[in-house]
Amino acid sequence: MKKEKVICIIPARYGSERLKGKVLYQINGRSILERVYNRAKLVKSFSDIYIATDHEKIIAAAEKFGAKTIMTCGRYHCGSDRVADAARKLDADIIVNIQADEPYIPVDAVEKPLRMLIEDKSLPVTTAATKIRKTEELYDPNIAKIVLDRDNFTLYSSRSLIPYPNVYFSDKKPASLKKVVFYKHIGVYLFRKKFLQRFAKLPVSYLEKTESLEQLRIIENGYKLKVAIVAQDSPCVDTLDDIKRIEGKS
């Protein structure tokens, strides 16, 4: 059986809505983008890693730390649309989109959903999630929450608290987090290349536009999104406060 070729593309937009050029901000001497790239390099299954961007500053920064780059010039609604454009001419079976704002993404958050995709040829796309352990993350709209069925397929994802705990829960008591399990999405998508191109041709869906979450385009159009649950957290960067908080723990 032919071994599937896996390529990673990190979409890095310069004009971030919350913090312009955030991927070039440094955490203890290294940019967020370089840290994401270095995490990707730990995944042995990747045949190649590219950074796809719309800005010369990101190209220049990426080339300084040895990354291959692809300039993308279109207008994209989400990172996966940029990845789809960058991947069109690449020889690959599986395209892994690692978002550029998760500088400590666990290797397991890539390798575990990748194994799922390789072992089950019927899956078009997979992703990863982890348990929410901090009360403040429950109500943070920058944290995408995810609800799963019993087979770990996505039922819904939202910036709001889901599922809503009607009983046996108090956010004033951390122990309550053990009674009601909440999951947060980790910024990685693993697409079969053919499905990635199909995804990019789908119109932006109503729920995707409402929540500003690209995974909703997948499930709203009737496709299955399987989720690998991993133990390690993956702090993402949306604000300067996030950078300060992560620096203090690094």
Mean pLDDT per 10-residue section of the chain, whose length is 250 residues: 91 79 90 96 98 95 97 90 96 97 95 97 98 90 96 98 77 65 96 98 96 97 98 82 70
pLDDT in the model for residue 179:
73
Burial of 195-216, coded b for 16+ CB within 10 Å and e otherwise, reads bbeebbeeeebebbeebebbbb
**Which 3 state secondary structure label does DSSP give 132?**
coil
- pTM for the full predicted model: 0.92
Question: How confident is the model at residue 100, as a pLDDT?
Answer: 94
Looking at residue 240, its pLDDT comes to 72
Contact 101, 33 (CB under 8 A): no
Q: What phi and psi, each to the nearest 5 degrees, are found at residue 208?
A: -60, -45
The pLDDT value recorded for residue 178 is: 63
User: Which domains can be identified in the chain, with CATH numbers?
Assistant: 6-249 (3.90.550.10)
> What is the β-pairing status of strands 125-131 and 46-53?
unpaired
Note whether 98 and 105 are within 8 A (CB): yes
Give the model's pLDDT for residue 246: 75
* Other C-beta atoms lying within 10 Å of the C-beta of residue 84: 26
Give the pLDDT confidence score for residue 153 in this predicted structure: 98
Q: What is the structure's pLDDT at 21?
A: 84
Q: Which residues contact 225 (CB under 8 A, 6 or more apart)?
A: 125, 126, 127, 153, 154, 215, 218, 219
| CA distance linking residue 215 with residue 158, whole number of Å | 10
CA atoms within 13 A on the CB side of 8: 27
